[in-house]
Amino acid sequence: MTSIILPLAIALVLALVLTPVARRLAIRYDLLDRPVERSSHTAPTPFGGGHAIFVAFWATTLVLGWPLSRPLVGLLVGSMLLLVICTIDDKRNLPPLPRLMAQLLVALIAWVWGVRVEEVANPFAAWVGPEFIVMGLLSLPVTALWIVFVINAMNWLDGLDGLSGGVSAIAATTLALVTASNPNTLAIAVPVAALAGSAIGFLRYNFPPASIFMGDSGAMFLGYMLASLSVIGAVKGPAAVVLFVPLLVLGLPIYDSASTILKRLREGRPVYRPDRGHLHHRLRDGGLSVRETVLFMYAIAGLLCVIALGVWLR
């Protein structure tokens, strides 16, 4: 486990140092989130946290993980492109279609460079069929669907101060422990730990009341990396373990997004149209404060990750 302490610590310190710099630059260039009806904040708040997370993560990964593996090179290219597009989105508020096209493009880049769901664990393997189902031609659409779904799940979760960053930190820390415990995935433990450290360092300024937001550039970056690194770090094992560990680690954002999508479809509303139907909105409407809601959702995410570790280590 000592292999994950150094990257986590370095990325955490870098994020602590870089986030105030990103805040000043965001204010200078008028990259501000101005409150709307669904907002939990009442005053314009600078974006820019995503840029600090991005630099802290990649600086740590490049220093400790050089030379990069082929999949990580693809993620570097894809995440740079995603950062540019999301920065434009934070500034100009792009329509849903260009955002989706950008997400599909970076998912394709990841797949081309080796981030691929090539096999899916068969949860019924004990009774029927092989332990793993080979994807074959379905590898690209399944990988793209997974990456795009998690990108949007983390972005939709970014509705309260500290929520998306904290849940990402919990998930990444759990994935770091899982990958560090297996010799076959030890190399991927460094970037996963760096992702956790970057998110934790940023939380110093984003936990409610936040002085800076991560914006789409941060939430989508975290989603992109969590989705992709969980694919790279997947190893063969008992089918139930391989299937449930990533689903449990990302269980909270997966549930929140899936339930929101189903609710909008049932009501005949566009999936991409924002509303106050997310879990954190419902908790707030139920009377919890922002901090209470965030801590409650941290507890849920943490519990799911503890269960995931128990499943993995059993």
Least confident segment among 37-46, 64-73, 162-171: 37-46
Confidence band for 2, pLDDT divided at 50, 70 and 90: low
Confidence band for 39, pLDDT divided at 50, 70 and 90: low
DSSP conformational letter for 68:
P
pLDDT at 142 exceeding the cut of 70 = yes
Distance CA 296, CA 58 (A): 30
pLDDT at 277 exceeding the cut of 90 = no
How long is the chain? Answer: 314
Name the burial class of residue 102, with classes exposed (0-12), middle (13-18) and buried (19+) by CB atoms within 10 angstroms of its CB: buried
CB-based burial, 133-161: b 16+ in 10 Å, e otherwise: eebeeebeebbbebbbbbbbbbbbbbbbb
Contacts with 229 (C-beta within 8 Å, 6 or more apart), sequence order? 75, 172, 175, 188, 191, 192, 195
| Sequence spans of domains, the chain | 2-313
Distance CA 32, CA 136 (A): 45
22 alpha carbon, distance to own chain's centre: 20
Q: Which helix (H) or strand (E) holds 37?
A: none
Specify whether the CB–CB gap between 239 and 125 falls below 8 A: yes
The residue type at 72 = L
Confidence band for 170, pLDDT divided at 50, 70 and 90: very high
pLDDT per position as a tens digit, 178-212? 888 877 778 889 999 999 999 999 999 999 889 99
| Cis peptide bond prior to 183, omega within 30° of 0 | no
pTM to 2 decimal places: 0.93
Q: What tokens appear for 262 in the block? A: 């189903």
Looking up tokens 């409407």 gives: 285
Name the burial class of residue 207, with classes exposed (0-12), middle (13-18) and buried (19+) by CB atoms within 10 angstroms of its CB: middle
Looking up tokens 């008992």 gives: 238
Confidence band for 239, pLDDT divided at 50, 70 and 90: very low
pLDDT at 165 exceeding the cut of 90 = yes
